[in-house]
Amino acid sequence: MKIISYNVNGIRAALRKGLEEWLQNAAPDVLCIQESKARPEQIDQALFANLGNQSHWHRAQTKGYSGVGILSRQAPDYVEAGTGIDYIDQEGRVIRADFGDITVVSVYVPSGTTGGPRQEVKMRFLEDFQRYVLHLRKSRPQLVLCGDFNICHTEIDIHNPRQNQNTSGFLPEERAWVSQFLEQGFVDSFRHLHPGEPDHYSWWSYRANARARNKGWRIDYNFLSQPLAARLQHARILNQAFHSDHCPVLVGVG
């Protein structure tokens, strides 16, 4: 199963930049979308259907904000929009789809970059999302958690670690959360296959020509629950896709 996660920073804008052609060529079995910034009725469902994909969406109550989706070539056995946690679901941040014994979750973690209150929301979200995932794992042990987590885990995942020690996305408590989450029985698929390799990023600021200079952050992940680690075949960052300030990240499981 070829699974791609992609924060498109607005699905309609990404389509205007050639997302349709890219999707046709990339041909993932499952595409997890974050930051769709659209209501389902504003998204051209027929376009994706013509490419052989079913699409399922979970939008935020606020217009033009957040939103996640899952596209798939195979019809899911089950789809669930939201977590049952009100403040998370009001922002359209989690959607789940089951395919046989594998459950895929598309998640968009709050950025925390708008100041103190939103940083508190981010840390609360991480705790509540972890509880949601651990509960889900009891009935669905084969999990693929795809999304924009808005955290660089280690110094190798960010181009300027010293300058960003006090920046949301690289704060000690955020990085510690990723470490302890992995210790709960999850694998960072990219680092599992590419340990120690520098200069691999999935997000670049639009400022200062950051992408051309590869001054980026690796904040997009495909986390696998431990039982799936033995089925991990490949993991890549698709940095030649230019529809967003993020790029897609791919994982293949057998």
Which residues are bridge partners to 161 per DSSP? none
- Using CA atoms, how far apart are residues 36 and 23, in angstroms rounded to an integer? 15
Tell me if residue 11 falls in helix, strand or coil.
helix
**Number of CB atoms found within 10 A of residue 193's CB:** 15
| Short-list 203, 213, 151, CA closest to 182 | 151
**Are the C-beta atoms of 133 and 103 separated by less than 8 Å?**
no
SS3 156: helix
Helix/strand/coil (H, E, C) string of 157-210?
HECCCCCCCCCCCCCHHHHHHHHHHHHCCEEEHHHHHCCCCCCCCCEECCCCCC
Select which of 128, 148, 199, 245 is catalytic.
Answer: 148
245 noted as active-site residue: no
Hey, which residues are catalytic here? 148
